[in-house]
Amino acid sequence: MAFASSASGGAMSDINVTPLVDVMLVLLIIFMVTMPIQSIPVDVDLPQKTDKPPENPKDPPDPIELRIDASGQIFWNNTPTPIASLVTMMKNEVERDPSNQPELQIETNNNAEYGTLAKVLTAAKNAEMVKIGFVQN
């Protein structure tokens, strides 16, 4: 960057601010255009303060241990179980206390087929189980 010399023979050290002003104006326009998009209100349901203490929660029931081995065999709490009876077994567990369901803990062998796991998850969805966890072996 060369400095232009002035008539007095010294170097001229003024900064050209025109590119800076151009960049600032472009940024201002970008912010003005994008700001109305970000100002959409989002409804959030926050819990309200109450004077009564919370109810004592029920103790959760024992979890259901469901294991799928490499051959596709399903074990319900270490008992071999056919896949066709899973939906009724899960529905029975849910009907005992729908507000306090047991957790379904699924453990699969690394060599198990994904189709078997998909059938188990479909059975859990059809039985309306909401607490499903995966156990890593």
Does domain 64-135 fall under CATH 3.30.420.270? My reply is yes
**Tens digit of each residue's pLDDT (9 = 90 or more) over 36-73:** 666 667 788 888 888 887 777 778 889 999 999 999 89
CB 68 within 8 A of CB 106: yes
pLDDT, averaged across the chain: 85
Domain residue spans in the chain? 64-135
**Tens digit of each residue's pLDDT (9 = 90 or more) over 87-115:** 999 999 999 888 888 999 999 998 999 99
Judge whether residue 27 has pLDDT over 90: yes
What is the model's pLDDT at position 2?
A: 54
